[in-house]
Amino acid sequence: MLELSAIDYVAPGIIGVSLFVLLIAAYVVGFRLKKWKLKRNPSKTNDELGSISSTLLGLLALILAFTFSMANSRFDTRRELATQEANAIGTTLLRMGFFPDSVQAPMKSSLKYYLDERIAFFEAGSDVGKILYHLKNSDSTGKAIWNQATEFAKSDPNLVKTSEIVPALNDMIDVTTSRKAAGEANIPPSIQWFLIILCISSTVLLGYERKDNFDWIIVIGFSLMLSMTVFSIFDLDRPRSGFVTLDEANSKIIELRGEFD
């Protein structure tokens, strides 16, 4: 069962735009808070904030690098598993040629349906209902193909044919579990929220440190670059709903449709 937190349902684009607005607001709040405090106590300085803001910005840079590394690593794993699945299905199809036509025909028919379900699973996007539906269908079809192979093995004394297709079938079925686990392995929600809160907190402190009227171009530019960085991390971590997708890797599986014509 897919387990998603509330933040996982929010599109990366919405997170990026919302964070951009919040960062500008956070900077203004920090700046206004500083002016209000100076009016109450003009002699109060904030020299001690220099080391604090440097530490906080350093922590922000560390978390940004850490989360980007996590997202990129998971994306590479998902892409590699997609290629492995295409190879496993293709190998299974080729090794079905060892079987007689009476057995080969129904197995190929089942494999074609299995392939269609796997493609539908990829094309379901972020629709959890469709994802679970096609995942269930492909799992049951994979088991049916396995049963067809084992039934033939019981009636055929020549185990060479079975020994050729069993490893390929095993790889084809196992990789679906690996892909499902990799698809659910997003950046933990606690780290996602911490990253967003840290961005806002750092921006408030930067606004609070400002001693004179601030430049809107600088504020907007800083907010834009930081929000785009966070957006890129979330987009990379969610290939089903962002601009960075696994379409190229999944196209290798879609190409297998032509093998059944």
- Across the range 152-159, mean pLDDT stands at 73
Token pair of 122, please? 């990829």
Residue 84: band (very low, low, confident or very high) from pLDDT cuts 50, 70, 90? very high
Q: Which residues of 25-61 are buried (b: 16+ CB within 10 A; e: fewer)?
A: ebbbbbbeebeeeeeeeeeeebeeeeeeeeebeeebe
The pLDDT assigned to 235 comes to: 92
The pLDDT value recorded for residue 200 is 95
Work out whether the CA dihedral 120, 122, 123, 125 comes out positive or negative.
Answer: positive
- Whole-prediction pTM: 0.82
Contact 213, 28 (CB under 8 A): no
Q: How far apart are CA 26 and CA 19, in angstroms?
A: 10
Q: What pLDDT does 186 receive?
A: 86
Model pLDDT for residues 40-52, shown as the tens digit of each residue: 776 655 555 667 7
Q: % helix / strand / coil in the chain, to the nearest 5? A: 85, 0, 15
Nearest to 257 by CA among 115, 106, 121: 115
How much of the chain, in percent, has pLDDT values that exceed 70?
92
Give the pLDDT score at 9. Answer: 76
Q: Which residue has the higher pLDDT, 161 or 243?
A: 243
Range of weakest confidence among 67-71, 124-128, 143-147? 124-128
The radius of gyration of the chain from alpha carbons, rounded to an integer in Å, stands at 27
Q: What is the pLDDT of residues 161-172, one digit of tens each?
A: 677 788 889 999
Could you give the C-alpha distances from 142 to 73, 113, 125, 254, in angstroms and in order? 29, 10, 22, 17
| Torsion angle, alpha carbons of 138, 237, 84, 256, to 10 | 60
Give the pLDDT score at 1.
Answer: 44
Q: How far apart are the first and last CA of the chain?
A: 34
Average pLDDT score over residue span 209-231: 88
